[in-house]
């Protein structure tokens, strides 16, 4: 089986050019990832472990992390001797991944993934789809790189989150009438708990089962700390359709 080659400078430049449509959000994420190392934080590590646990990974499987950020999930795979590769459009995030000892990452966005077709056994996509301009194009690319019997784990923000409207309002207030600090893509309306399954099905995915993905408390700043506490409580008290994120275990429709 052909394996993805380690990224070279040409691929990195191609990946960065592919990120042009995300110019505003790329600037935001580059700054965020340059200032903070999220990959090693316990809350994120727990989240990655949970996502991987939902996939039955065999010793000879090859894994793809689409939107790998600083490579936290890839670090777990490396420690477990799992072949794993990641892409992200943030050059600064991948600089951190390189410093953490990861060379299996490529700078690219999900609309044009620089991997061969029918290559991966397991694919993870964690809170990336909601900020993409063309979800259909990205989902088709993600499907293309996966084998016929591949399994996918999608985690997405839920437009039906019970506190979505007040949360958006608070976020805008705390970010200084926000658009100055955050890209418009982060304030777009997220698809609802009914719309996400339909989007996946229309793009050729079969939902094996929905998964109630856990949320973990972490401290980045006081506002973020309070936010995660509230989300954890809602996740515990309410059905998945009202929670902050939704997760789906999928395979390819035949």
* Structural domain spans, the chain: 9-161+191-215+241-252
Domain 9-161+191-215+241-252 top-level CATH class: alpha beta
> Is residue 142 within 8 Å of residue 86, measured between CB atoms?
no
Instruction: Give how far the C-alpha of residue 158 lies from the chain's centroid of Cα atoms, to the nearest Å.
Output: 14
- Residue 39: what pLDDT? 94
For the chain, the straight-line distance linking the first and the last C-alpha, in angstroms and rounded, comes to 23
The string of pLDDT tens digits covering residues 78-112 is 999 999 999 999 999 999 999 999 999 999 989 99
- Residue 96: what pLDDT? 96
- Residue 20: what pLDDT? 44
Sign of torsion over alpha carbons 215, 234, 200, 191 = negative
- Residue 218: what pLDDT? 86
Alpha-carbon distance 254 to 239, whole Å?
30
- Residue 63: what pLDDT? 98
- Residue 28: what pLDDT? 80
* Residue segments in the chain with a per-residue pLDDT below the cut of 70: 1-24, 167-188
Cα distances (Å, whole numbers) of residue 160 to 12, 104, 207, 241: 37, 36, 19, 7
pTM: 0.86
């Amino acid at each position: 089986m052909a394996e993805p080659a380690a990224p070279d400078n040409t691929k990195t430049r191609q990946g960065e050019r592919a990120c042009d449509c995300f110019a505003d959000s790329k600037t935001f994420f580059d700054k965020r990832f340059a200032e903070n190392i999220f990959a090693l934080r316990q809350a994120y590590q727990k989240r990655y472990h949970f996502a991987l646990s939902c996939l039955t990974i065999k010793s000879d499987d090859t894994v793809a992390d689409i939107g790998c950020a600083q490579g936290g999930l890839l670090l777990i795979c490396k420690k477990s001797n799992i072949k794993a590769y990641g892409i992200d459009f943030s050059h600064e995030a991948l600089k951190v991944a390189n410093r953490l000892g990861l060379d299996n990452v490529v700078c690219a966005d999900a609309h044009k993934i620089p991997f061969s077709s029918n290559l991966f056994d397991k694919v993870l996509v964690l809170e990336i789809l909601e900020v993409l301009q063309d979800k259909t194009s990205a989902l088709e690319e993600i499907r293309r790189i996966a084998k016929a019997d591949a399994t996918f784990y999608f985690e997405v923000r839920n437009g039906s989150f019970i506190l979505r409207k007040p949360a958006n309002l608070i976020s805008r207030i705390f970010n200084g009438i926000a658009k100055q600090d955050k890209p418009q893509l982060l304030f777009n309306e997220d698809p609802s708990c009914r719309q996400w399954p339909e989007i996946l099905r229309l793009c050729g995915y079969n939902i094996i089962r929905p998964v109630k993905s856990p949320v973990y408390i972490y401290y980045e700043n006081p506002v973020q700390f309070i936010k995660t506490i509230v989300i954890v409580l809602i996740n515990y008290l309410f059905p998945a359709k009202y929670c902050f994120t939704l997760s789906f275990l999928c395979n390819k429709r035949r």
